[in-house]
C-alpha cells in the first residue's frame, strides 16, 4: 500500500491510502508523458482516472476545442462575430479567441471597453437586427453587470414580441470557481440563468462537449448562456474524427451518460464531471457501480435521461460546484422526487459548494468546493440506506 499525501489535509497530517492499482495508473500517466500543469495538479491531489486511449486517437484541449468551434462558425457564417474584453489584440484573456483577430480582422472581432452593460446591450441589439454575436464575459461574475440585457432584453423578447424578434446570441465565458480568485470571482451562475424561460444554458465538460455544444449554440436562433470552466481550458481530452469535422454539433437538451452503472446515479456538469468519474472509480473498488451523467445542458434539462437512470439505479447523488440553495441540484432532486418517487430506495443526495462566499485561503477554498470524497461518501450513503 502506498500512502499518498493529500494536500487538502496537509495540516492535520491525515493521509489516505492509495492502492497498488492507483499507483499503477499514476505510474502509467507519468510514462505517457501527457503532463499538463493541471494534470500534475490533479495527481498531487490524489487520484487520476484512467482514460482509455484508442491507438492513434487525437487529443484536444478544451481551449483549442472552443477556439476551433468559434473559428469554424465564423468561417461558415459571415453574420457571426465576436465581442468582449481583450478578445482581439490580447488574443483573449484565456486565449480562447486566439488568432481570430488576425484571421478575420477587426470587422469580425471587437475589443470592447470594460462596460458590460453597454456592450452586452449592443450585442443583443445586433442580434435583434439579425447578426449572430458571440459575447464573451471575462468571467460570468461580470455578467451580473449586464444581467438585465441577458434576461429582459434577450431571453424574453421572442415571447413578448410573439415571435417577431428572436435573439440568436451566445453569451460565453468561464463560470464558477477557479483557483484562489476569491469571493467575487468564483460564483457559479448555472442556477440563475437556467431558471429563466427563453434562455438556453449549456455547460460543456470535455473537448468534444466544448466543440459540439458551442457550435450548436452559435447556430441556435435563441439566446444561449454558455458556461465554460477556467480550470478545464488546459485539459486534454481524446477527440473523435467525427467531432473534429466542421459540421459537428451536439444536440441541445440532451445529457450524456459518461459512465454506465447500476447502483447509483450521479448527475453533474462541467468540472465536476471529472470529479464524479473519479468518484465512480473509487466506488467501483468498493463494489458500487455508479452511473455518471454529464448534464451538458442545464436548460433545457434532460429530465428524461436523469429519471430513466434513477429508475434503473434507485439512487441519486446530484453534484454541482455552485451555491446549494435553489441550485441546479435542487431542481434535479425535485424532478426525481416528483417523477420517480416510487423507484427511489434512498433519499436524494446533493453535493454542492459550501453555503458561504468563496474564501481565499487554499484550505478553506478546498472545503468550500465539492471534492471527490464528498461524492463518494454521498453515494455510499445512498447505497447503504436501502432495504
Partner 1 sequence: MALSRLSSRSKGISRPLSAAFSRSISTDTTPITIETSLPFTAHLCDPPSRSVESSTQELLSFFRTMALMRRMEIAADSLYKAKLIRGFCHLYDGQEAVAIGMEAAITKKDAIITAYRDHCIFLGRGGSLYEVFAELMGRQDGCSKGKGGSMHFYKKDSSFYGGHGIVGAQVPLGCGIAFAQKYSKEEAVTFAMYGDGAANQGQLFEALNISALWDLPSILVCENNHYGMGTAEWRAAKSPSYYKRGDYVPGLKVDGMDAFAVKQACKFAKEHALKNGPIILEMDTYRYHGHSMSDPGSTYRTRDEISGVRQERDPIERIKKLVLSHDLATEKELKDMEKEIRKEVDDAIAKAKDCPMPEPSELFTNVYVKGFGTESFGADRKEVKAALP
Q: Are 255 and 306 in contact (CB under 8 A)?
A: yes
Minimum CB–partner distance for residue 209 and partner 1 (Å): 17
Q: Tell me the Ramachandran region of residue 198: left when phi exceeds 0, alpha when psi lies from -120 to 50, beta otherwise.
A: left
35 near partner 1 (CB under 8 A)? no
User: Nine-digit cell at 286?
Assistant: 468498493
Return the residue of 19, 57, 75, 161 that touches partner 1, per CB under 8 A: 161
Give the footprint of partner 1 on residues 43-82 (CB under 8 A).
81
Distance linking the first and last C-alpha atoms of the chain: 34
Identified binder of partner 1 from the candidate list 67, 120, 143, 229, rule CB under 8 A: 120
- Residue 10 known to be catalytic: no
Report, in Å, the least distance between residue 331 CB and partner 1.
12
Measured from the CB atom, the residue of 120 and 267 that comes closer to partner 1 is: 120
Looking only at the bridges linking them, the beta strands covering 290-294 and 256-259 are antiparallel
CA distance 117 to 128: 16
Q: Say how many residues touch partner 1, by CB under 8 A.
A: 47
The burial of 373, by beta-carbon neighbours within 10 Å (0-12 exposed, 13-18 middle, 19 or more buried), is given as middle
Instruction: Determine, following the binding rule CB under 8 A, whether residue 130 of this chain makes contact with partner 1.
Output: yes
Quick check: 253 binds partner 1 (CB under 8 A)?
yes
224: nearest Cα among 373, 69, 361, 375: 69
Asked whether position 198 contacts partner 1 by CB under 8 A, the answer is yes
Which of these is catalytic: 59, 86, 185, 339?
185
Residue 346 CB, shortest distance to partner 1, in Å, is 23
- Residue 195 binds to partner 1 (criterion: CB under 8 A): no
Catalytic residue among 72, 73, 85, 116: 116
Per DSSP, the three-state class of 209 is helix
16, 7 contact by CB (below 8 A): no
118 binds partner 1 (CB under 8 A): yes
Stretch that binds partner 1, among 2-10, 87-95, 184-192, 248-256 (CB under 8 A): 248-256
How far is C-alpha 241 from the chain's CA centre? 22
Q: Convert 257-286 to b/e letters by CB count within 10 Å (16 or more is b).
A: ebbebebbbbbbbbbbbbbbbbbbbbbeee
Q: Is residue 245 a contact point for partner 1 (CB under 8 A)?
A: no
Choice from 4, 7, 131, 284 touching partner 1 (CB under 8 A):
131
Backbone angles phi, psi at 247, to 5 degrees: -95, 5
Q: Say whether 116 is catalytic.
A: yes
Chain positions 2 to 31 lying near partner 1, rule: CB under 8 A, are: none
Footprint on this chain of partner 1 (rule: CB under 8 A): 81, 107, 110, 112-113, 115, 117-131, 148-149, 152-153, 157-166, 197-198, 200, 220-222, 251-253, 300, 303, 338
Residues known to be catalytic = 116, 185
Amino acid at each position: 500500500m502506498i500512502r499518498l499525501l493529500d494536500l487538502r489535509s496537509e495540516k492535520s497530517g491525515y493521509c489516505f491510502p492509495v492502492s497498488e492499482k492507483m499507483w499503477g495508473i499514476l505510474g502509467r500517466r507519468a510514462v505517457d508523458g501527457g503532463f499538463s500543469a493541471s494534470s500534475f495538479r490533479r495527481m498531487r491531489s490524489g487520484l487520476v482516472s484512467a482514460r482509455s486511449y484508442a491507438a492513434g486517437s487525437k487529443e484536444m484541449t478544451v481551449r483549442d476545442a472552443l477556439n476551433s468551434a468559434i473559428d469554424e462558425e465564423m468561417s461558415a457564417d459571415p453574420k457571426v462575430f465576436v465581442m468582449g474584453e481583450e478578445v482581439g489584440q490580447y488574443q483573449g484573456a484565456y486565449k480562447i479567441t486566439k488568432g481570430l483577430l488576425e484571421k478575420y480582422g477587426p470587422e469580425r472581432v471587437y475589443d470592447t471597453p470594460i462596460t458590460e452593460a453597454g456592450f452586452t446591450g449592443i450585442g443583443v441589439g445586433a442580434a435583434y437586427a439579425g447578426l449572430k454575436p458571440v459575447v464573451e464575459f471575462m468571467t460570468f461574475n461580470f455578467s451580473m453587470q449586464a444581467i438585465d440585457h441577458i434576461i429582459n432584453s434577450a431571453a424574453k423578447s421572442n415571447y413578448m414580441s410573439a415571435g417577431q424578434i428572436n435573439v440568436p446570441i451566445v453569451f460565453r465565458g468561464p463560470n464558477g470557481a477557479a483557483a484562489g480568485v476569491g469571493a467575487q470571482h468564483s460564483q457559479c451562475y448555472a442556477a440563475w440563468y437556467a431558471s429563466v424561460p427563453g434562455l438556453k444554458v449549456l455547460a460543456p465538460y470535455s473537448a468534444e462537449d466544448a466543440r459540439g455544444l458551442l457550435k450548436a449554440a452559435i447556430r441556435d436562433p435563441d439566446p444561449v448562456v454558455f458556461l465554460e470552466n477556467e480550470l478545464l481550458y488546459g485539459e486534454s481530452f481524446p477527440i473523435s474524427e467525427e467531432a473534429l469535422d466542421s459540421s459537428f454539433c451536439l444536440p441541445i437538451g440532451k445529457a450524456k451518460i459518461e459512465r454506465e452503472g447500476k447502483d447509483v446515479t450521479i448527475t453533474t456538469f462541467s468540472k465536476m464531471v471529472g470529479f464524479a468519474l473519479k468518484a465512480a472509480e473509487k466506488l467501483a473498488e468498493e463494489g458500487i457501480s455508479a452511473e455518471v451523467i454529464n448534464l451538458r445542458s442545464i436548460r433545457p434539462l434532460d429530465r428524461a435521461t436523469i429519471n430513466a437512470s434513477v429508475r434503473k439505479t434507485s439512487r441519486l447523488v446530484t453534484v454541482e460546484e455552485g451555491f446549494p440553495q435553489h441550485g441546479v441540484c435542487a431542481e434535479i432532486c425535485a424532478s426525481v422526487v416528483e417523477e420517480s418517487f416510487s423507484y427511489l430506495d434512498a433519499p436524494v443526495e446533493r453535493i454542492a459548494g459550501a453555503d458561504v462566499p468563496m474564501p481565499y485561503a487554499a484550505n478553506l477554498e478546498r472545503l468550500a468546493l465539492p471534492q471527490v470524497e464528498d461524492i463518494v461518501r454521498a453515494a455510499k450513503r445512498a447505497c447503504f440506506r436501502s432495504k
